[in-house]
Amino acid sequence: MAGSKNRLSSLDLVPEDAQDDIVWAIGELNQRTRTQAEILLDLNARLALKGVEPISSSAFNRKAVKLRAVQIRLDEARYIFTGIADQFTPEKVDDNSIVLGEFIKMLVFELTQADASERTPKMAMELARAFHDTVKGQAMSAARRSKLESEFKEKAGAALASVAKKAGLSAERVEELRGEFLNLADKPR
C-alpha cells in the first residue's frame, strides 16, 4: 500500500453529525466489555440510521489498536505516579522537578527513537523545544530553591539573633545554635 499513509480511512471520513457515534464506539472500546466486532456492528448500524457509509473493519481495527496502545501507556504512567505520589510534597518540590524533568527527557528520547518516517520537521522542533524547556525549568527550579534557602537562613538567623539577645545568650552559644539549627555557623549576624 505505498502512498496510502496520507489517505483518509473510512473512520476519518465520517461526517460531523455522526461524530457522536464515533465517540460512543471509542467509549465502548475503552470499557473492554464487548468484542471489537460487536462494537463495529453496532457502530455501523448507528451510522446507517444517519445515512453514513459503514466503517471498514481494517480502519476500526487500526483505531482500536492505537487506542489500546495509548491506554496502556496511560495506565503505566498512572502506576508510576501512584507509586511516587507520596513523594510530591512541598518540601520535595525541587527534587520532584528534577525527577519529572528526567522523565520528560527520557520520553523525548523515546519519541525520537520511534519510526523516523512518521516524524515531521515540526515534530522534531517541538521535541527539541520540550527538551530545552525541561532543562531550563530544572535550572530555574534549582535557582529558586537556592534563593529560598538563602532567604530562609537569613530570616532564621535574624530571628535567632533577636531571641538570643532577649534571652541573654552568649555569642558562643548563639554560634552553636546557628550551627545546630541552621547550619550557619561562623556566618555574620
Residue 100 dihedral angles phi and psi, to the nearest 5°: -65, -40
DSSP assignment of 122-169, as one string?
HHHHHHHHHHHHHHHHHHHHHHHHHHHHHHHHHHHHHHHHHHHHHHT-
pLDDT in tens, 106-130: 666 666 666 556 667 777 677 677 7
Q: Is the pTM of this model over 0.85?
A: no
The domain spans of the chain are 6-87, 88-189
Radius of gyration of the chain (CA): 29
Q: Going by C-beta distance under 8 Å and a sequence separation of 6 or more, which residues neighbour residue 48?
A: 54
The x, y and z cell numbers of residue 92, run together, are 520535595
pLDDT for residue 101:
67
Which tens digits make up the pLDDT trace of 1-39? 444 566 778 888 888 999 899 989 988 988 889 999 999
Distance between CA atoms of residues 183 and 189, nearest Å: 13
